[in-house]
């Protein structure tokens, strides 16, 4: 029994000391805060689900709808998920001047580069997304889904889907993993 106390005491003391540092608690998600039980058994806290968020640019009329993307990010964060953001490295169909709601003929933009605005620069090319490394995939709305992830905005029911988007959807479906898609504002001709 003395040997067990000798082995366990340092871990319990370390956990108690760390747990008593209330100033650090706001900096750590509750799921990462060590518990005396975890210290006793030497086990690490279980990480949250890994979620891939797939963006289609930045801006409701030519990319991802910002409110939808930020709402998803907030709720995933509150739920303890580890989010990795992706977008295809392709040119946007066109650029919309959001102050006028009209195409800007003289501009061209890249979907990955524009999506990086929402991701604060921490973004990965969609070509690198694998269902094997994530528990779920979410596609927020915005006209970019119909313009940059597919040709639905132009071709309607005869549209083509970006090859990486199609591959990702098939991988997650085949693996039986959740795929979240949502569109708050209906696309013309879609509903």
**Active-site annotation, residues:** 185
Closest by Cα among 139, 119, 113 to 51: 139
Whole-number Å distance between alpha carbons of 93 and 149: 10
Hey, is 101 helix, strand or coil? Answer: coil
Residue 62, strand partner residues: none
Q: How far apart are CA 75 and CA 87, in angstroms?
A: 20
């Amino acid at each position: 029994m003395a040997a067990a106390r000798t082995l366990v005491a340092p871990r319990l003391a370390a956990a108690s000391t760390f747990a008593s540092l209330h100033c650090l608690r706001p900096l750590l998600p509750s799921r990462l805060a060590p518990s005396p039980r975890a210290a006793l058994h030497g086990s690490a806290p279980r990480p949250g689900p890994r979620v891939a968020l797939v963006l289609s640019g930045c801006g409701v009329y030519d990319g991802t709808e910002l409110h939808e993307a930020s709402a998803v990010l907030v709720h995933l964060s509150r739920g303890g998920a580890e989010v990795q953001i992706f977008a295809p490295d392709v040119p946007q169909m066109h650029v919309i001047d959001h102050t006028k709601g009209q195409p800007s003929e003289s501009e061209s933009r890249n979907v990955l580069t524009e999506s990086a605005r929402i991701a604060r620069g921490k973004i990965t090319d969609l070509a690198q997304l694998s269902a094997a490394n994530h528990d779920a995939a979410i596609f927020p709305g915005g006209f970019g889904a119909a313009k940059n992830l597919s040709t639905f905005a132009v071709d309607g029911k005869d549209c083509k889907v970006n090859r990486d988007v199609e591959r990702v959807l098939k991988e997650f479906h085949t693996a039986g993993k959740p795929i979240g898609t949502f569109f708050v504002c209906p696309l013309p001709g879609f509903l």
